[in-house]
Homo-oligomer: A and B are copies of this chain.
Amino acid sequence: MDMKIKRIKYYFLESIKNLARNRVMVVASIGTVAASLFVLGIFLILALNVNNAAESIGKTLEIKVYLKDEVTTLKRIAIERDIKNIKGVTEVIYISKEQALEDLKKKLGENKAIAEGFEMDNPLPQSFVIKVEKPEFISKVSYEISKLDGIEKIYDGKGIVEKLIKFTNIVRVASYFLMGILAIISAFLISNTIKLAVYSRRREISIMKYLGATDWFIKWPFVIEGVLLGLLGSILSIMVLFFSYQYLTNNVSLNLLLFNFVSAQSLLSFILQKFLLMGALIGGFGSYLAVKRYLVL
């Protein structure tokens, strides 16, 4: 046990010494990890924001339900309760005939005279405006509503909703797909660099072998080195991403867009662990594979 701890300490010391003495390698490896993850991060930011935008557009969608003229107050309250009980419904707003007229007048603005005749015998129906959790629920909810009594007409902007959902899904699948590809490429680039770095030390590796070092005695410091390089590189990329994104969101006003940026903090919490893990894993595993190769020779 004591031996084990001594060994682990030794491996760490070795890897840190090696890092300190192979500056070209260190700079190149950290740079590659950071740059690769930075690109991945840019893409992630885009994907997060597109998803966010699609969701916030989705949230503004609502179902409008017009009630038949004969529906009484009691009946109306029953309908309201029934609608509220449908899964996915978050809010039901009642609009009375009077409210509807008010709204129409507001909409007409200067031309509100047109609606003046309505005050005697209001032709506008009473209605509900219904909000749902996610746009995906709209068609199911409106189908449930259509089965209720006393409903004159339902407007759920079906065409738009379906298009939006399809579009969001495409964007989501495409962005997962691309992010997968980018992650693989990042892994490739990083392990490529580490392979070259180890390659430049192949002579050292073979000497250790001939001195009687076991494979793991040689491998461990390299693996730890790889993990450290990966971690340093990912920390660098996280920092650059976070600060530049923070700067961007604080200084670029996109008032014409329909949505807000995902906040820099939530970006950070999203990438922090993932990137650290990815950097460490690829670094360690890349080194492991690279050393292994020169051990067989």
Check: A48 CB closer than 8 A to any chain B CB: no
Asked if A42 contacts B178 (CB within 8 A), the reply is: yes
A219 within 8 A of B: no
CB neighbors of B among A177-195 (8 A): 178, 181-182, 185, 188-189, 192-193, 195
Which B residue sits closest to A162, measured CB to CB? B256
* CB nearest to A185 among chain B residues: B35
Task: Tell me how many residues of A have a C-beta within 8 Å of chain B.
Answer: 30
Q: Mark A1-32, 1 if CB is under 8 A from B, else 0.
A: 00000000000000000000000110010011
Asked if A196 lies at the interface with its beta carbon under 8 angstroms from chain B, I say yes
Residues of B within 8 A of A220 (CB): none
CA A31 – CA B42 in complex, angstroms?
Answer: 22
Across the interface, A166 reaches (CB within 8 A) one of B25, B35, B188, B256, namely B256
Interface majority SS (helix, strand, loop, mixed), chain A: helix
A39 at the interface (CB under 8 A from B): yes
Chain B residues positioned under 8 Å from A163 (CB to CB): 256
Which residues from B are CB-within-8-Å of A36? 189
How distant is the Cα of A195 from the Cα of B254 in the complex, in angstroms? 41
**Which residue of chain B has the shortest Cβ distance to A254 in the bound complex?**
B170
Residues of B within 8 A of A31 (CB): 188-189, 192
Q: Give A165's nearest chain B residue, CB to CB.
A: B256
* Interface check A263, CB cutoff 8 A: no
Q: Does A71 contact B (CB under 8 A)?
A: no
In the complex with contacts A192-B32, A254-B170, A38-B199 CB distance below 8 A: no
Specify the chain B residue showing the minimal Cβ separation from A25: B196
In the bound complex, residues from chain B placing their C-beta under 8 Å from that of A273 are none
Instruction: Please tell me if A243 contacts chain B, counting CB pairs below 8 Å.
Output: no
User: What distance in Å separates the Cβ of A140 from its nearest Cβ neighbour in chain B?
Assistant: 20
Cα of A197 to Cα of B195 in the assembled complex, Å: 10
Binding site for B on A (CB under 8 A): 24-25, 28, 31-32, 35-36, 38-39, 42, 163, 166-167, 170, 178, 181-182, 185, 188-189, 192-193, 195-197, 199-200, 254, 256-257
The list of the 6 closest CB pairs from A to B, nearest first, reads A200-B200, A196-B196, A35-B185, A28-B192, A24-B199, A28-B196
